[in-house]
Amino acid sequence: MKSTQIASQLWARLWQDYSHRVQYARIYQQMLQQAGGAIANDHIAFRSLRLSVSGMETRGWGDAETRRWGDKETRETTNSQFPIPDSQTTNNQQPTTNNKLGIPYIANLAEALGYEVAGEYNFAEQHVYARHYRHPEQDRFDLPKLFISELLVDSLPAAITQLIKQTVSDGSFYELDNLNQAIAAASTTKELETIVTQLQGVFTRPWQPPRRSVVEAVNAVSQYGAWVLLHGYAVNHFTAYVNRQNTPLYPDIESTARGLAELGIPMKTRIEGNRGSGLRQTATHAVTEMVLVQDDTSGKLVRIPWTYAYYEIAERNLVEIAPGQQELFEGFLRPQAQNLFELTRN
């Protein structure tokens, strides 16, 4: 029960951060509210890097009030409204010999909150692997699915792999292996809120802003990789769930996409998935932000425009699993997800 409470609060906070940055999500919310409809999240997507890097720093679980956060300049280097811890030693900081930065990093958190692996997907063309996670009490507690992907860094050209490893080598990461114990030990509302606040810090960029030349070089090979170097573990997208919009004005994905387009939101030109297929998806274009990078000549931090996130729309339908037996499709379709990855191409 405590884990589901933490999950609900954590996703709500990430939604606040995300919708603050992605105005299309706020416009969708207003559109549904004006139509007397309801808003529900089908899934949240995160990106990461499949890397195991030795000697990186991790942070344990302690009293949030005693944790030393970065100075003003460090706080401003994240593209989120929430600060990340600085990379200097604190009482809660421990060395780690093999920090896995990809799916396992976020999966430790998801599994501690009760989520279970429900599917896996390979995207060879993009050098990406993904899993989706579902909570066994998803419907009871209104919890979204999680779609967590990772770039297979070692499958990229050696020079690009090295640039990525060098960039993330100064990162400071949370030690999530003992999260289960922290949740079990929490006995008050304040202690649960402290855990939520600390987990919120996971979904930022744990390393310093990358050099501009590195971003450009990585982007030429993998736009996914460049995105992660700039945004870290920030939410890649939230997803509106058409099935629960509960308004006759927007009964399906077509009417929803049309309504958003009529409000001036730039939309993907086609809907992924035919009528009646298990999963149909579309999305807004990705918003562009001014992100921080290090200037190669001066070493100073400068801002450049780069894509951040889009808002996805999903409609799920019944599929036949046996003769005369149907159930709601709860998974993902690889070709559709592959096309959606491209929405953050800069």
Q: What is the pLDDT of residue 178?
A: 86
pLDDT tops 50 at residue 89: no
User: Which region among 4-8, 175-179, 218-222, 248-252 has the lowest average model confidence (pLDDT)?
Assistant: 175-179
| Structure confidence at residue 142 as a pLDDT band (50, 70, 90) | very high
> Higher confidence at residue 89 or residue 23?
23
Burial class (CB in 10 A: 0-12, 13-18, 19+), 189: exposed
Per residue in 328-338, pLDDT tens?
A: 999 999 888 88
| Residue-averaged pLDDT of the chain | 88
Task: Answer for the pair 177, 108: CB distance below 8 angstroms, yes or no.
Answer: yes
- CA distance between the termini of the chain: 41
| Structure confidence at residue 69 as a pLDDT band (50, 70, 90) | very low
Q: Say how many residues make up the chain.
A: 346
Per residue in 106-133, pLDDT tens?
A: 999 999 999 999 999 999 999 999 999 9
Q: How far apart are CA 143 and CA 336, in angstroms?
A: 23
pLDDT tops 70 at residue 158: yes
Cα-based angle 161, 164, 166 (whole degrees, multiple of 5): 110
Task: Count structural domains, the chain.
Answer: 1
Task: Answer for the pair 176, 61: CB distance below 8 angstroms, yes or no.
Answer: no
Q: How far apart are CA 154 and CA 147, in angstroms?
A: 22
pLDDT tops 80 at residue 35: yes
Tell me the average pLDDT across 278-294.
Answer: 98
Cα 188 to Cα 2, 67, 105, 133, 324, distances in angstroms: 10, 19, 26, 28, 49
The string over 199-227, giving b where at least 16 C-beta atoms fall within 10 Å of a residue's C-beta and e elsewhere, is bbbbbbbbbbbbbbebbebbbebbbbbbb
Per residue in 211-257, pLDDT tens?
A: 999 999 999 999 999 999 999 999 999 999 999 999 999 999 999 99
Tell me the average pLDDT across 310-336.
Answer: 94
Range of the domain at 170: 2-344
Q: Which CATH number does the domain housing residue 71 bear?
A: 3.10.180.50
Q: What is the pLDDT of residue 138?
A: 96
Tell me the average pLDDT across 163-191.
Answer: 92
pLDDT tops 90 at residue 63: no
The label of the residue with tokens 């007397």 reads 36
Tell me the average pLDDT across 196-210.
Answer: 96
Q: Which residues pair with 149 in a beta bridge?
A: 130
